Structure 1
Amino acid sequence: MATGTTSITSDTPLPDTARAQRRILIVLVSAQILSGAGLAAGITVGALLAQDMLDSTSLAGLPSALFTAGSALAAVAVGRLSQARGRRPGLAAGYLTGTIGSLGVIAAAVLNNLALLFIALFVYGAGTATNLQARYAGADLATASHRGRAVSTVLVATTLGGVIGPNLAAPTGGLAQSLGIPYLAGPFLLAAAAYALAALVLAVSLRPDPLLLARELGTTDAATTQTAPVDDSGKGIAAGGLVMALTQLVMVAIMTMTPVHMHAHGHSTAAAGLVIAIHVGAMYLPSPLTGWLVDRYGRLPVAAASGVTLLAAGLLAAAAPGDSMVLLALALTLLGLGWNLGLVAGTAIITDTVPLATRAKTQGAVDVSIAVAGATGGMGSGLMVAATSYPALALAGGVLALAVVPIAAFTGFSRSASR
């Protein structure tokens, strides 16, 4: 197998698909570990940094809204670049953009410049979008009966970096102070380095390109082509997109305000970082099991389970005393698990129903809805907590998540279409 090229010509022998898929997954896993650290670092302190610079709790959800909105634009750009040139340049460019955004946040904190902070957070969102887009690359060469597991392999790799990142909030904050940078901007030093290294790993090692190779194999390997009936395609895209958008909205809203809620009840930054680390672990660590469930029992039953799990998370977060770190951590664990169930199931539905000819472009467009939902949850969460309370936000989010169940029940996209 010639691994130094990104395309396969008609004169080139087709490489062994399974061997190529194993190599691609190894590279994607390596990049995801790095990008997970960059993603989680910003989540941990973004709301606290905004609260400090704006001196307002009502706008504490603004950072989450901004970098999630930025991820919407990035999802389109990464999807289109991947469609035209392949996954390797698309993903590498996305992570490099996230690096620039991280450095911009640091500069804004040093200069105490709110306008620069808002712009930089928007650009930082490219890292979030790219981290999610990488899951599609893991499924490009997977057979229909193994797509859930392929997606989950890429997602679970984010766990290590995602758990390490928040727990480095305090040490990187101390490092930042020693460099004359505000304490809360410290984790963005980690984000910049992590995203830059992820871009380098992908640019150098993601060969052969999974999407380009899948296209080449598409005419000879039925497993890499569209497997759902044409009539189900629109239903599948709508169902997958709605499931992922709803779970994203609820997850981001509750997650964003949890550190602020904990800080208001006397918890330290380290304690908030630990709870977010547990949450991020729950977002990604169950992925292998989720992938198996999706492949074994179908996409839609797992999607419905995500709505029920998110309801439980909202109820527990609403009922937990503000000084109970244990109960808040448990609620955030359920929140991460519910999101994971929805994301893996929704991704498998989308990949099943979109043909190779338009796969990356459509996947990028679907991820825009996820990003917009996340931005809405992030921005609305701060406003709702300021007007009501964190328990009210958590309860409302849990009830809203339950809407995933009827979507899964009545969409009409059958399990057989995913095989």
Structure 2
Amino acid sequence: MKGAAPRRPLAVLVFSQVLSGAGLAAGITVGALLAEDMLGSTGPAGVPSALFTAGSALGAAGIGRFSQRRSRRSGLVLGYGAGVLGSLGVVAAAALDSVLLLFPSLLVYGAGTATSLMARYAGADLVPPDRRGRAVSTVLCATTLGAVAGPNLVTVTGDLATAWGVPRLAGPFLLAAAAFGAAAAVLVCRLRPEPPPADRSAGGPPDERAAGAAAGPGTAAVRRRGLAAGAAVMVLTQLAMIALMTMTPVHLRAHGHATQATGLVIALHVGAMFLPSPLTGRWVDRAGPHRVAVASGVTLSAAGLLAALAPPHSVAALAAALLLLGLGWNFGLVSGTTLVTAALPPARRAASQGLADVGIALAGATGGMASGAVVAAGGFPVLALVCGALAAVVVPVAVLAARGAGAPRES
């Protein structure tokens, strides 16, 4: 009976993630292309990614603090509402050909993408510590259906946008507005009981309070190292993934590939980001997050090398590189999230998790902003090699953290 209570709210979280996944993919698929068309240059094509990841940083901080003060559900609904507003703003900017409206709208849209990722923490709240990896991965995997379908609906949503007198590339943002709105409605109407908030009066659930009371200074130091390692793993994987992913659609179009091919490559990439999550979660729970983090660094480095060596006219080679990129990101996010959650006491977990996601979003903003400039200066292969080198840093970070923890698994 102990595991029965969380099943219904976890199922609602899963359903809302399926819906929100379609909104998550819009900026990835056509954001850079829309900016390139409106600005007439490849150099600033990384700006949309930078803006909506910067917006996700602001959203993560705000959602985390709001969730700590009110509830997980309230924070998620607030974030999805911002995603709706930002998506509609992007559509209006495209219709008016207004860069001044496009950039702030992308910033607000980023809050919706932050919400989709922060829902994984709500899943972790519903289970005991030894099942956190699986809970996080269940919520992430639910994003797959919408996130994979979104890029493949580029043509359909483009036709709809054209029929409504809106530029074709704004079509996916119409889908994003509907997806984020539906996800918010599901949470408002169906998420009862909510994921348990931090017990502000007593400092958390009884089992975790007892563990905290028994913990000595050494345990506190281990938790601090776990927090730093988990945040570093997620930041590095996000930086490498966003930078390479952002410029892949531009690279494909520059070599004569159709938008449909771009949508397919991105769909495969996003699928690799989320679909392996159940297996990743079990791997984290059994082998420990440090080992999975090492695998993340190795996989992302291989993705960068393959992307650098891939012939520019080979969609299959670039798709394989993006598959590895998504898989490495998945390993890093699930293992990093587990490390961060294990290191935080319940009384300040939601707010601190929001701050950890601020670091992730800022890393993504940096990668998105720099990616266009790197490609303009040295080409796509140079960008891919730089991303692979950055990802390789995850390996020593995870190894050193595991040695400091003194055990391969967290309690």
TM-score category (smaller protein): over 0.9
- Letter in structure 2 aligned against 1:345: S
**Whole-angstrom distance in 1 between the partners of 2:285 and 2:303:** 25
Instruction: Tell me which residue corresponds to 2:383.
Output: 393
From 265, 278, 289, the equivalent of 1:275 is: 265
Q: CA deviation at 1:225?
A: 6.6
Matched with 1:26 is 11
Alpha-carbon distance change, 41 to 259 in structure 1, aligned in 2, over 3 angstroms: same
Equivalences, count = 404
User: TM-score, with normalisation over the residues of structure 2?
Assistant: 0.95
| Residue 18 (structure 1) shift | 1.9
Which residue in 2 is equivalent to 1:100?
Answer: 85
**2:374 equivalent to 1:384:** yes
Determine whether 1:260 maps to 2:250.
yes
Query: Could you give the per-residue CA deviations for residues 267-302 of structure 1, whole angstroms, max 9, x where no partner exists?
Result: 111110010000000000010111011000111010
Q: 1:286 aligns with which of 276, 284, 294?
A: 276
- Secondary structure of the 2:166 match is coil
Q: 1:205 to 1:297 in 2, by over 3 A?
A: same
**Residue 416 of structure 1: how far off its partner (Å):** 5.5
| One-letter code aligned to 2:385 | L
Q: Give, in whole Å, the separation in 1 of the partners of 2:241 and 2:233.
A: 12
2:410 is matched with which residue: 400, 410, 418? 418
Q: What do the CA deviations read for 1:122-152 (whole angstroms, capped 9, x no partner)?
A: 0000011101110000001211111100000
Please say if residues 293 and 331 of structure 2, whose CA atoms lie closer than 8 Å, have aligned partners that are also in contact.
Answer: yes
TM-score, length basis structure 1:
0.94
Distance 1:104 1:153 in 2: 31
| CA contact 2:47–2:368 (8 Å) conserved in 1 | yes
Matches within 5 A, 1:202-213: 202-212=187-197
Secondary structure (helix, strand or coil) at the match of 1:81 reads helix
| Structure 1, unaligned runs of 5 or more | 1-15
1:61-210 to structure 2, matched below 5 A, reads 61-210=46-195
| Candidates 372, 376, 383, aligned match of 2:362 | 372
Tell me which residue corresponds to 1:10: none
> Would the alpha carbon gap of residues 214 and 298 (structure 1) be closer, same or farther in structure 2, given more than 3 Å must change?
farther
Matches for 1:258-407 after TM superposition, within 5 Å: 258-407=248-397
1:206 Cα shift? 1.4
Matched, 1:41 2:33: no
Q: Give the drift of 1:154.
A: 0.2
Shift in Å, 1:414: 4.2
Alpha-carbon displacement from aligned partner over 1:244-273 (angstroms, at most 9, x marks no partner): 000000000000000000000111111100
| Aligned partners of 2:203 and 2:209 also within 8 Å | no
Q: RMSD of the TM alignment (CA)?
A: 1.7
Give the aligned residue type for 1:138. G
1:233 is aligned to 223
Q: CA deviation digits over 1:58-92, x for unaligned, max 9?
A: 10000000000000000000000100111000001
> How many angstroms apart in 2 are the aligned matches of 1:224 and 1:306?
33
1:11 match:
none
2:27·2:48 contact (CA, 8 Å) conserved in 1? no
State the shift of 1:217 in Å: 10
Letter in 2 for 1:331: A
